[in-house]
A and B are shown apart, each in its own frame.
Chain A
C-alpha cells in the first residue's frame, strides 16, 4: 500500500530552500555537534540481491555497530545461506568468499518467479521471499539541465514506458566515472501508471558536471523492496519520526532480499 510522493516532497524542499534563502536573506547556519547516543544491542543485517542479468549473486551479512564507531562495517562469518525457487524442491547454498560476503555461482533467476532466501546464523533462522518483476526497457537516456538561481544543474534523465494497469516499482543505481554512487533512488508509478515517463534522477548530493560518464541500472523491484528503499529515503531531517525501513526478512533482521530484473543505459553528461 506504500506509495511515494517524491515529486511533491522535492517541490516543497525547493520551496522551503527558496523561502529561507531569498526572502529572509539568511543562510541557516549549520555546525557539527557532539551528541551522546545510546548503544543498542547489535542486530543482524542481511543485504541480498538476485537478478536476471547475472548468474553470480551475493549476500552480505553484518551486524550493527555503535553510532560512534569509526567503521560502519561489522561483517559476520559462519552463516548458512540458501536459496530456493518457489514450487521447486531443490535448494542451493551460498559459499562465504570473504568475511560476511556469501556468493553463489551459476544460478539463473527469471522474471515472474518467486525466490526464498534463508539465512541461518547463531541458531536463529531468517527468511525472506521476493518475486522478480519483468524488466522494463529504457527507451532513452540523456542530460537534463535545470537552471536554479541562474546556476545550471545537470542531471541524468531516462525515459521508459510504464506498463499500464499494474503497480510497478523502480530502483536506480548510478555509477559516475566508474565509481558507484550509494544514493537511493526508489520510485513507484502512483502518478505515472501507463505513461511514457521521463525520470530525472535528481539528488542534491549528486553533483554531475559536463563530461561525466554516467551508467544507470534500472531495477524493477517488488513492492516489499520498494517499501524498504522508500523507508530509507523517507528518513530525511524533516520526518517527525524517523524509523527503520521495513525489512522483508522474518525474525527481526534488518536489510532486504530483492529479486529484480535489470536494464542498463549510459550517457556522457552534456
Chain B
C-alpha cells in the first residue's frame, strides 16, 4: 500500500509544480436563502467561457487563473446567476451565495448547468432533484426516492410494493446505497412498501449505473449516493405533512447564523392507531408502524475547517396480539471534517458507523423464544481532492472498513421446545485505496480515469468449514481472534472518456471493474429483513463485474431538451445462487447451500428529458437482457435471470397549470419477470405435484400502470405556506399479477388450474403539506 500512496503524492508534487505560476480563487457556493451548499454549481470566467470549474459535493471550488481582472459568473440549476468582479493578484478566497430563482423563469437561468451531461466525462449517472421526487405520484402519496429512480432507464422495480431495485441486470444486493456516505443495509420499510428515505431530509441523489468513479466501491451494479440537507443557517423553519399513512415534520435553523445549522426530520406511520379501533381483540392489541429520524448539523469553525454530523435512525415494529413481535431497523452516523489545506487541496475525513438489526419474539405455550441478528460496520475514510488546474483535478484517498455480522441467534426459554442457538459472528476488513484523475487535455476531449485497489480480509475468531459438492463438511479449521482466514486483493480499473462532437452533442465511452465482498442471501421473491448477509470467505469468492459502455448525448433547443443513448455490456463472475430448497435461515452451514456461476447483461438505454418550462418530465426506454449460468442449475445452460425484463418504458410528465395548480402523471410498462412454471404434473401421495423442466423458462404477464397526481398550493403571500397533494395510484385499475401459482381445482382435484394474485387496484391518496 505504501509505495502506492507515495507515488500518488509524488505525482501531485509535480502537478503542482507545473502550475505553480497560477493564482487560485477558491471558496464555497451556497444557497442565499438557507445556506445549503450547492453541489455541482458552475464557476466560470465570463470573458473566457473555457475557464471554468464546478463545485464538489461539499460546494467547494478551486479555479486557477493568471494575474488579472475577471468577471466571475456562478450558476446552478434553479438559481439566479451571479456575477462578481475580481482583481486577482494573489490567492483569494471568495464564497458565493445564490438566490433561488422563480421556477417559471428558470429556463435561461439554469441553462448553464443543464450542459453537464454533454460536457462531463462521467457516464452512466442519473441525478434526481428533490423537486422531481416530490412531484412524481406514488403509492399512498408517500414521496419516495427509490420509487422515483425506478423510472430511469436501466433501473427496474423489484416488483409491486418493493423498494428493491435492479440496475442493469444486477440483483438488489448489488446496489450500494449510501446516506451521507453511510451504507444503508436495508432501505425498505414495511417489507418493502416504502423506502427508508424521507424526502424532506434529502438534498441530492446521484445514481451511478456504470463508469463508477474510483472513490466508490463495494458493489457490482450501482451506487446510489444520497446526501442529506445541511439545514438552514439563516432562519428557523418548520415544515411537514399529514398523509394517509404517515405524517412528517422537519425543523431546521441556524446554530449560529452563517456559521452553522441543524436539521431534524421525522416521519411516523399511524395505521396502528386505527387498529386500536377494532373490536377484534387480537387486532386491537397488535402494533404495526415505522418511523424515521434524520438529523444533521454542521458548523464552520473557520474558513478552512467545517464539521458535519449526520445520523439516521429508523425502525419498523410489528406485533400480533401477545404471540409475536418483530422489529427491524437501520442506524447510521457520519462525522465529517472538511479541511482546506490550500487553495488547491481540499480534504474530507469521515468516520462512519452503520448498523442493521432485527429481533423476532415468539411467545406461545410451547415456543417462547427470541431471534436476533445484527450487521454493522465502522468505516474510516480519507478523501483528498486536488485541483491541479482548471483542466485537471485529482481525487485520491483511503478507506478502512470493519464489517461484522452476527447471524440469526435464538434465545429460547427452558420450557420451550426449541433449543437456544448461537451462530458464530463473522468479521472482515475492507481496505481500499484509490486515485482518480479528471483531465481535459483539449476543449473537446476529457477523461476520468483511475484505479481502486480493494482488499478484503476475513478474520477469526471462529470455526471455518469447507464443503464438498453435496454440502458435507470436508474440513474444519479453528482460527483465533484477529487471525487471517482468507484474503482477496482486487485492482479495479475505472475509465471514462468524453469526446464533444460539437457544442450540443458528445460521445462517451467507459470501462469499469467492480468487486463485492458482502452478499445477501434470499431465495424468495419478496425481500425480507431477515434475509441473511454473508462475507466473502474461504468458500465464497468476491463477486466481480466488468462493464463496458458507450453513449451518445445531445441537447436540443437551448438545452431545454436532453437526449441520451447508452449501450452497455456487463460480465459477472462468482455469482451466487442456491441449491434446491436451500435452508438460508439460522443455518450455521449456510455456505454449503450455495452454488456459484457467471452472469452477463447487456442493453440499450434511451432517455429524452425536458428540463424546464410549464411542462417537463421524461420518457425512458430500456431494451436489456440479463442471464446467468451455473453448473448445478438448468443442466448448466444459460437461463434468464428473474430481472431479465426485455422492454422497460417509463413516461413522467409534470405540468404547471397555474401558480396554484400543478399536475403530474407517470406511466410504466415492462416485460414480466422470468419465472419458473411447471411443464407437466404427476401425483405423489395423492397430491398433484408439478414437474419443472427449466429455470425461468416462462414470463409473468406484462406489467403496466398509470399514476396521476395533482398539487394545489395555498394563495401566495401568507406566512404559512400549505399545499394539498392528491394522488391516484394505478388509475385504470390494472390487475397486475403479483404471483402466479398453480393448484388443484376445488371440485375436481384431477384438474389443475393457474391463478394469479394482484396486490393493488386503484388507490387514491391525499396529503396536506405545510411550511412556515
Contacts and interface: CB of A to CB of B under 8 A. Distances in A.
Contact of A184 (B530, B593, B687, B740): B687
Contacts of A35: 677, 698, 740, 754
B183 to A, nearest CB: 24
A237 B324 contact: no
Contacts of B321: 147
Interface string A233-250: 011011111111110000
A117 to B, nearest CB: 16
Interface stretch (A65-73, A88-96, A104-112): A65-73
Interface string A143-174: 00011111000000100000000000000010
Given A19-B191, A70-B750, A196-B417, A11 B682 contact: no
B578 to A, nearest CB: 8
Interface in B580-631: 580-581, 583-587, 589, 592-593
A64 B691 contact: yes
Contact of B642 (A193, A235, A240, A255): A240
Interface in A199-232: 200, 227, 230-232
B739 A1 contact: no
A240 B685 contact: no
Contacts of A5: 583-587
A67 B320 contact: no
Interface string B714-734: 000000000000000000000
A37 B271 CA distance: 42
Nearest to A34: B754
A254 B685 CA distance: 13
A32 B581 contact: no
Interface residues of A, number: 86
Contacts of B735: 29, 31
B190 A19 contact: yes
B71 interface: no
Contacts of B472: 1
A262 to B, nearest CB: 15
Nearest to B683: A72
Given A28-B759, A29-B758, A71 B580 contact: no
Contacts of B362: 7, 11
Nearest to B410: A191
A28 B738 contact: yes
Contact of A31 (B418, B524, B756): B756
Contacts of A74: 682
Interface residues of B, number: 96
Interface in B245-283: 271, 275, 280-283
Contacts of B592: 1
A75 to B, nearest CB: 10
B445 interface: no
Interface string B676-693: 111111111111111111
A30 B741 CA distance: 10
Given A1-B472, A72-B750, A191 B581 contact: no
B752 interface: yes
B739 A71 contact: no
Contacts of B681: 64-67, 69, 72
Interface in A20-64: 20, 22-23, 26, 28-35, 37-40, 42-43, 45, 47, 62-64
A242 B686 contact: no
Given A39-B679, A64-B680, 4 more contacts: A47-B684, A65-B680, A147-B281, A194-B419
25 contacts: A7-B367, A12-B528, A18-B318, A22-B275, A22-B283, A28-B738, A31-B735, A33-B755, A35-B677, A35-B740, A39-B680, A40-B693, A64-B691, A67-B680, A70-B751, A147-B282, A157-B366, A196-B417, A241-B523, A241-B577, A241-B578, A241-B676, A241-B695, A243-B580, A244-B692
